[in-house]
Amino acid sequence: MSILLVLLGAAAAAVVGWWSYQQDQKRRAALAAFAAAKGWSFEPGDPHGLADRWPEPPFGIGHSRRASNVMTGVVDGRAMFAFDYRYKVTTSTGKSQSTRTYHHGVCVLALPAYLPSLEVGPENVLTRFGNSLGLDDIELESEDFNRTFRVRGAPRFAHDVLTPRTMEALLRSGCPSWRIAGAEVMAWDDGKNEPLRVLASLAALEQVVEGIPDFVWKDHGAVPPTGL
């Protein structure tokens, strides 16, 4: 009986694995067609070394880090990347060991200058608890924004970048977590990329970039993207 159960379990695992592989292949084909329609390049693998390019979360965590389904191109004159990212975390109790795989869809836009770090992510029960302990979370003029998002970075820079118009746009878009990292701004969310998800993330990032006041670009040695 035990042998039969083992065989049935193995057969079920094989069926699930085959179905998952077929779904991944369909999604990859859809992403490749989407990239081609946008005039972007598509690579199933990671020729740019994206999995190890950034040190901040969700990167630099766990092991077996991998980027795949990489799209590269230009959006309104700005270089972009969009890709799937996954890593694994193995935990041990001393008696047993388990491994969990985490998936994120990532989009990146190039900036015309290096800017200070600024990170905005969804507020939740854990982050609100951290706020109550006095952990860093910048409070802005919008109470709705403060309740919805957690902001980390230099307070003055955060207030300069997150103008009332930008905050309103981000509240409407339901933007995932995003970060200004040097000369790039990136957004990431749980799960894997889909065409509509990529478009929504890139649109949110463009709202952030276009909302940065001209004096911020000039203060950091760049011509404003508006050309003014």
CB 68 within 8 A of CB 45: yes
In a domain, residue 18? The reply is no
Q: How confident is the model at residue 22 (pLDDT cuts 50, 70, 90)?
A: low
Q: Mapping DSSP to helix (H, G, I), strand (E, B) and coil, where does residue 118 land?
A: strand
Which sign, positive or negative, has the C-alpha torsion 58, 59, 63, 67?
positive
How wide is the angle at C-alpha 225 spanned by C-alphas 223 and 228, nearest 5°?
60
Model pLDDT, residue 9 = 59
Q: How far is C-alpha 195 from the geometric centre of its chain's CA atoms?
A: 14
- Tokens found for residue 63: 């092991």
**Amino acid present at 116:** P
Selection from 228, 224, 223, 220 nearest residue 212 by Cα: 224
Residue 142 lies in a domain: yes
Q: Would you state the pLDDT for residue 124?
A: 57
Q: Which residue's structure tokens are 């799209």?
A: 71
Place of tokens 């955060």: 158
Q: Are 72 and 41 in contact (CB under 8 A)?
A: yes
If one counts every other C-beta atom within 10 angstroms of the C-beta of residue 17, the result is: 10
Query: pLDDT higher for 75 or 128?
Result: 75
Q: For the segment 130-179, what is each residue's pLDDT rounded down to a tens digit?
A: 343 344 689 998 999 999 999 999 999 999 999 999 999 999 987 779 99
pLDDT digits (tens, 9 = 90+) for 41-86: 999 999 999 999 999 999 999 999 999 999 999 999 999 999 999 9
pLDDT (tens digit per residue) in 193-218? 999 999 999 999 999 999 999 999 99
CA distances from 105 to 162, 223, 226, 227 (A): 24, 30, 29, 31
Task: Note whether residue 20 is domain-resident.
Answer: no
**Within a domain: residue 83?**
yes
- Structurally, the chain folds into a number of domains equal to 1
Higher pLDDT, 28 or 136: 28
User: Domain for residue 30, yes or no?
Assistant: no
Decide if 35 is inside a domain.
no
Return the pLDDT at 133.
37
Report yes or no on 22 lying in a domain: no
Q: Report if residue 17 sits inside a domain.
A: no
Residue 4 pLDDT class (50, 70, 90 cuts)? low
Contacts of 164 (CB under 8 A, 6+ apart): 141, 142
Q: Which of 33, 39, 69, 56 is nearest to 191 (CA)?
A: 69
Instruction: Give the structural domain span for 54.
Output: 41-219
Dihedral Cα 153, 213, 226, 122, nearest 10 deg: 40
pLDDT at residue 6 in the model:
57
CA distance linking residue 56 with residue 127, whole number of Å: 18
Instruction: Enumerate the H helices of the chain as residue ranges.
Output: 2-38, 125-132, 143-148, 155-161, 164-173, 195-211, 214-219
